[in-house]
Structure 1
Amino acid sequence: MIKNVALTVAGIDTGNGAGAETDIKVFEMLGVHGVMAVTAITAQNTKGISDIEVVKPDFLRKQIKVVKSDFDIKSVKIGMIYNKDQFKVVNEELSGYKIITDPVIYAKDGTQLINDVDEYKKLILKISTIITPNAVEASILSGIKIDTIKDAEEAIKKLYEEYGVPFVIVKGGHMRGEYSFDILFDGKEFYEIGYPRLDKKDTHGTGSVFASVIAGKIAKGEEVINAFREARKILQNAIDYGLEIGHGIGPIDPLVYNEKKSQKYQVIEDMTKIGDFIENEEKFWKLIPEVQSNVAHSISPQYVEDLNDIATFRGRIIRRWDRKVIVGYPAVFGNPTHTARLLLAIILNYRIGNTLINIRYDEKILSAFKSLGYEIIEINRELEPQHGEGKTMQWIIEYIKTQYGIKNNLPNVIFDKGMKGKEAMIRFWTNSTDEMIESLRLVCKSL
């Protein structure tokens, strides 16, 4: 397999939160082979930088020349380059490449990482294809204080016009407001991506990851606007699931984006497995209620955000006249079934469970679950208030919390005896499809 190659020119972060080693990690995540030219080695952890060993310009040049001589470099990501001598080397060796520059002027702890900003602008911005400063960095580079989107647009135009950068992106995490906006300018139009501001402690590496995603996507031949959008999506996930390690500002986790994608593939595999069981279990027809059934199955509960992280069968699980059970393939994500909504409510409230099915209410079935050691709990649908479509499943969880005071250890079997217009129902959740299949096999065996 031939992979495209991207080069990162940056420092080494010994805490592995930003820097060249993080860039390489992001490249590999995107299916790009990453190579590096190291500008400095920092003595660094989540609490900050204690020292910096700067690489001599001649050795930096040697690193770049060596990788250039052997690899077909499709894009270059520039991070920390420390002084004028290094700026000059990068300018001379990499001018003409597709360069994505993250102007790391200051580290999270305030340590200055770029000395001589004026020379940086002349030697580095001038050769950059894309620059990705945050609002503070863009303010320093442009001389325009950025508090609002209008300020950012003014600064972007100035950077575009003065330094001839084809694509200028300003990240809005430092701007005011409940929502943030990243802004891209291509010389003709502004493109904005709005996103909710995340109140997270662990944010180390945001700039590195954002620029590295863009560099990786450019190395694969993607358009800048698409790379911009993908970078924002990956970064938002990475911040949301920051690594709670160290005693300071911990690193974000860009790999969670791929982790969720790989888990979704496994969910579809699991749904096929449970669907095969349902269609081939001789007595499964005895579990199908009048309103029919469905299975909901999610990625790991720690990563579940909404229904898009939960799969169900597109059609229902039905019982035919000849007692044959038919599963409504395919399995799809984001289908707003009752089973998906209830599983989502369970996960968001308890952070447990990843599989749920609704089955026919029958005392024999309840007894079978009890004999397997499962705790059961009854809800009274007569007490359910009138509310909009889709709210019933959340109400079930709220009912359990208020009526039974269950804050943890939610029973696996939740049933009701129905009401006028509502069929009695059993809802059964587990922490894996294997547990679901084995438990339902034993329940069927007992009927």
Structure 2
Amino acid sequence: MGSSWKYESEKAMIKPVGMTVAGLDTGNGAGGETDLRVFEVLGIHGVFAITAITAQSTKGIKDINVVSSEFLKKQIETLLDDFNVEAVKMGMIYTKEQFQVVNELLHDSFLVVDPVLYAKDGTPLIKDVEDYKKIILPIAKVIAPNIIEASAISGIKVEKESDVVIACKKIRETYNIAHVIIKGGHSKGDFSFDYMCNEEGVYKIGYHRIQAKDTHGTGSVFATAFTAEYIKTKDVKLAFRKARDFVQSPIEYGLNIGKGVGPVNVSIEIMKKSMKYEVVEEMRRFAEFAENNEKFWILIPEVQSNLAHSIKPEYVRDLNDIATFRGRIIRRWDKKVIVGHPVVFGNPTHTARMLLSIILKGMNSTCLMNIRYDDKIVESFKEIGYETVEINRELEPSHGEGKTMQWIIEYISGEYVRIPNVIYDKGTKGKEAMIRFWTKNMEEMIEALDNLLKML
């Protein structure tokens, strides 16, 4: 018993620890509770010292209940006494007394400051900006303002790219901050840059701007991601690049909740990885069904077959969100069906392209298979309740490689309000007749094909 306990106590720490000093956003968009989620996603155990509780939603801040400086001090002391905090991200901090607490307790920490001077709705989040500059900024190791905040802190009106560099250097020199990052998300145009200046010079990262409504929390997420990546790598430049990469997807997949400016989706990458794992498992289950059903060979055309399976349709953006079998589904000479593992994402097969086209038309579809054309198979689909549509391939215009599946779906969507589950053509010169069958999920795909095969 004693030796077991000794072993447990001497095991290496599974997660490093990061701290956030910030306000609590009741709408869970840009407060310390969001910082904790970013830490968790990036493999850091986050701890939280609360500076204020806001009555907040996507429509803005209605009220602020500020935590006393004494209680803020007690929180930070309690956390530092127990945890080996490797870096601290600081967001909203409201009063001069709170500034002094942070200066006293965290001046030796690797402090990453997100200078949230104002909320999205314009509500001031720092009571006295001048005291903030004098007390907080000189102890920051990193500061990450957006263009508006950088203008306020530097006194330079940032309007063009060259102004960013001037403001970046001035903030660094004025407040003796080792690393200044100015984010370009508030700039105009389709392409933006984030800048970092330090003793090594100026480093910038370019990225495509995403036209998105839901951007609440972007700055906070970036600063927390930077803190997390610094804890893991101890490399400021690498942390800058990784944080910039991290924040792009949460903006693209904004949550679209609330009636105002909604929060970004900080969990999107692990959500998509989880969904892809489920897709792979379901593809394996389909492979077992196909290889063990003695009639499945009937469905395989001369050009062989494949199954496309996507993650949830609302998260699909391109072929990288759709899986197929790399080696297709083949029928041997002895009528044995062999599924060509492994499952791969991003393979530009006809089935994947057609499924993507169907999803982008707004259909709740995640599975599609190409099947050998036969009048009896089409009639059997009708008997089990599926609507069918025939496409005349003679009407297909000449176009580049890979456009056929898109043309078929465009043609159908111009004629039907809802795209039928069974799409078939009788072929034309050089093109084998084919049935394409899509379903909303794998359960439906397997059940439908099982019922179909029982009728053949």
TM-score tier by shorter-chain length is: over 0.9
One of 201, 208, 216 as aligned partner of 1:196: 208
Query: Paired residue for 1:430?
Result: 439
Query: Paired residue for 2:369?
Result: 357
| Contact 1:147–1:176 (Cα < 8 Å) also in 2 | no
**What is the alpha-carbon distance in structure 1 between the residues aligned to residue 347 and residue 244 of structure 2?**
25
Q: CA deviation at 1:149?
A: 2.6
Query: Paired residue for 1:443?
Result: 452
Query: Paired residue for 2:122?
Result: 110
Supply the AA of the counterpart residue of 2:315. Answer: Y
Relative distance call for 1:191 and 1:410 in structure 2 (3 A) is farther
Write out aligned runs for 1:13-412 (5 A): 13-221=25-233, 223-402=235-414, 404=415, 406-407=416-417, 409-412=418-421
Equivalent residue of 1:37, what SS?
Answer: strand
> Which blocks of at least 5 consecutive residues in structure 2 are unaligned?
1-12
Q: Deviations over 1:264-287 (max 9, x none)?
A: 111111111112222222121121
TM-score, normalised relative to structure 2: 0.92
| Contact 2:25–2:33 (Cα < 8 Å) also in 1 | yes
Relative distance call for 1:154 and 1:84 in structure 2 (3 A) is same
Deviating 4+ runs (over 4 angstroms): none
Relative distance call for 1:294 and 1:32 in structure 2 (3 A) is same
**What is the alpha-carbon distance in structure 2 between the residues aligned to residue 173 and residue 439 of structure 1?**
48
Supply the AA of the counterpart residue of 2:301. Answer: P
Tell me which moved more, 238-247 or 357-366: 238-247
TM-score, normalised relative to structure 1: 0.94
| Contact 1:74–1:218 (Cα < 8 Å) also in 2 | no
Equivalent residues, number: 444
Q: CA deviation at 1:307?
A: 0.8
Identical aligned pairs, as a percentage?
60
| Contact 1:132–1:170 (Cα < 8 Å) also in 2 | yes
Q: CA deviation at 1:222?
A: 5.9
Relative distance call for 1:356 and 1:184 in structure 2 (3 A) is farther
**What is the alpha-carbon distance in structure 2 between the residues aligned to residue 328 and residue 184 of structure 1?**
48
Q: CA deviation at 1:185?
A: 3.4
**What is the alpha-carbon distance in structure 2 between the residues aligned to residue 244 and residue 274 of structure 1?**
34
Q: Deviations over 1:291-337 (max 9, x none)?
A: 11111111100010111111111222222222222212111111111
Relative distance call for 1:325 and 1:190 in structure 2 (3 A) is farther
**What is the alpha-carbon distance in structure 2 between the residues aligned to residue 436 and residue 281 of structure 1?**
14
Q: CA deviation at 1:250?
A: 2.3
Q: CA deviation at 1:203?
A: 2.0
Query: Paired residue for 1:413?
Result: 422
**What is the alpha-carbon distance in structure 2 between the residues aligned to residue 398 and residue 347 of structure 1?**
12
